[in-house]
Amino acid sequence: MSSSEKDVRLSVGDTELTVNPANGCRISSLRIGGSELLRQGERYGCFPMVPWCGRTENGQFRDGGVLHQLPLTAPPHAIHGTGRDTAWHTALATGTQASFYYDLTDPWPYPGRVTQTFELAEESLTLAFGIETYGDSFPAQAGWHPWFRRHLDTGEEVRIDFDAAWQEERGENHLPTGRRIPPLPGPWDDCFGMPDGVDVTLTWPERLELTVKSRSEWVVIYDEQDEAVCVEPQSGPPNGLNTDPRYVTPIEPLEIATTWSWRRL
């Protein structure tokens, strides 16, 4: 195992973070006061969604007059990008900060580089992405897909609180229809709009309160599994390569950050 493949561990006080660059540069563990917050398993933890988020319809997107085809990783769609299935390289690892990167290549049709950074503090974790192009401009997205445990040890079930301006109506194909509707009660596998920035609070009663914030206005909430709930800040909606493209240009990378902050109850 090369040094770039080794797990990287950050710690402050009784908070410990483990990043696995060899397995998609995902957070494999976040322990606060001895309690594991993330669902365990090689497909879980918290993985990066890059260079697109959620489902891309039929795995296809256009850039100008060119139609690109991506692998159908969630047939009939392509889901969650290539970053989670790629080995990343470690650029920096100190006691509280780490930075990783990988170069975009097939099946993504454009050359570029993705960087992900982690900064751990006593009561917060800040994650950031940068996507830059090595050539032409291209549409892209970035975001995070954490699997927070529904129960912390023997504690009560987590509660999800947020105030969204709208919900993207979800069609039978699991993609937004283009209509914005008033937010509906859960269970959810849905995208919500927060024009003032993502702000979602998870509360494990009598244990911990954790808030997910981002200056981005898009978040997907997923709570249809018994083991975990997901709060996914992202730079655009599902299928956004087609409906709301954000371009990475030679002078303007795509940048997005999120901060998780917590307090004991």
CA–CA dist 168, 244 (Å, integer):
13
pLDDT per residue as tens digits for the range 123-173:
999 999 999 999 999 999 999 999 999 999 877 999 999 999 999 999 999
Look at residue 3 in the predicted model and tell me its pLDDT. 44
Whether 2 has a pLDDT exceeding 70, the answer reads: no
3-state helix, strand, coil in the chain (%, to 5): 5, 55, 40
pLDDT of residue 154: 74
Please tell me the predicted confidence (pLDDT) of residue 51.
98
Q: Is the pLDDT assigned to residue 1 strictly greater than 60?
A: no
What are the structure tokens assigned to 155, written together? 């504690």
Tens of pLDDT, residue by residue over 232-259, are 999 999 999 999 999 999 999 999 999 9
Which residues, other chains included, contact 43 with Cβ-Cβ below 8 Å and sequence gap of 6+? none
Strands (E), 8-95: 8-12, 15-20, 26-32, 35-36, 46-49, 55-56, 60-63, 66-69, 78-79, 89-93
Euclidean distance between CA atoms 163 and 222, whole angstroms: 15
**pLDDT tens digits for range 179-189:** 999 999 999 99
Q: Mean pLDDT over all residues of the chain?
A: 95
**Bond before 176 cis per omega within 30 degrees:** no
Q: Kindly state the tokens that stand for 245.
A: 């493209």
Position 234 scores a pLDDT of 98
**pTM of the predicted structure, to 2 decimals:** 0.95
Q: Quote the CA–CA distance of 55 and 77 in Å, as a whole number.
A: 6
Strands 176-181 and 166-170: antiparallel
pLDDT at residue 101, rounded to an integer: 98
At 248 the pLDDT is 98
User: What does the block give as tokens for 25?
Assistant: 């540069």
Residue among 128, 116, 91, 120 nearest 31 (CA):
120
Question: pLDDT tens digit string along 47-83?
Answer: 999 999 999 999 999 998 899 999 999 999 999 999 9
pLDDT score recorded for residue 64 = 87
